[in-house]
Amino acid sequence: MSNQGPLDFKPPSVNGVEDPDLDPDGYIPLDLLLAGIEVVVPLWPSHATGPDDRDLLTVYFDQPGQPLIKIENIYKAADIKPQFVIPINASHLQVNGQGKLWYELLDTADHRSKSEARTLTLDHAPAPTTATPLPPVYPPLPRHLPSLT
């Protein structure tokens, strides 16, 4: 059971998306936009330990012009593991633009804690290719050119 007050957590990570330190815009690769993403939330301190304890984890994704995505899970002591993977279906990732991803935790003692938000960028345009174009191929010149005299 929790005996701590509200805490602030680091932003959640997303499998297949670079760390915010490497990519502050959090570009989601096209294949993940089409398949859905997995949000990874590490185990929090003072998690449920007793048989009557429960923790309520809520993951949010907020993108302007779209309904707020809110995914709630209740965890009992028997459900506790080092991290939790929360899927967000591709149907919620259809609109290009940036959004904010974060989570909140309501522990057994009803202390509400939250993570920092992280930016995610959705862009369904195919990635530009970086291949160098091949030089043009010209037909061979004739061996003997006619004389102009």
Percent share of the chain, pLDDT over 70: 85
pLDDT for 67: 94
DSSP calls for 52-118? T-EEEEEEEEE-TTSPPEEEEEEEEGGG--SEEEEEE-GGG--S-EEEEEEEEEE-TT--EEEEPPE
Is pLDDT above 80 for 142? no
Phi/psi of residue 92, each to 5°?
A: -90, 0
Residues 16/37, Cβ–Cβ less than 8 Å = yes
Quick: pLDDT tens for 15-30. Answer: 999 999 999 999 999 9
pLDDT for 1: 43
Greater pLDDT, 10 or 130: 10
Residues 2/46, Cβ–Cβ less than 8 Å = yes
Is pLDDT above 70 for 66? yes
Per-residue confidence band for 4, with pLDDT thresholds at 50, 70 and 90: low
Quick: pLDDT tens for 87-126. Answer: 999 999 999 999 999 999 999 888 899 999 999 999 998 7
Is pLDDT above 80 for 40? yes
pLDDT for 11: 95
Instruction: Measure the CA–CA gap between 59 and 148, rounded to whole angstroms.
Output: 81
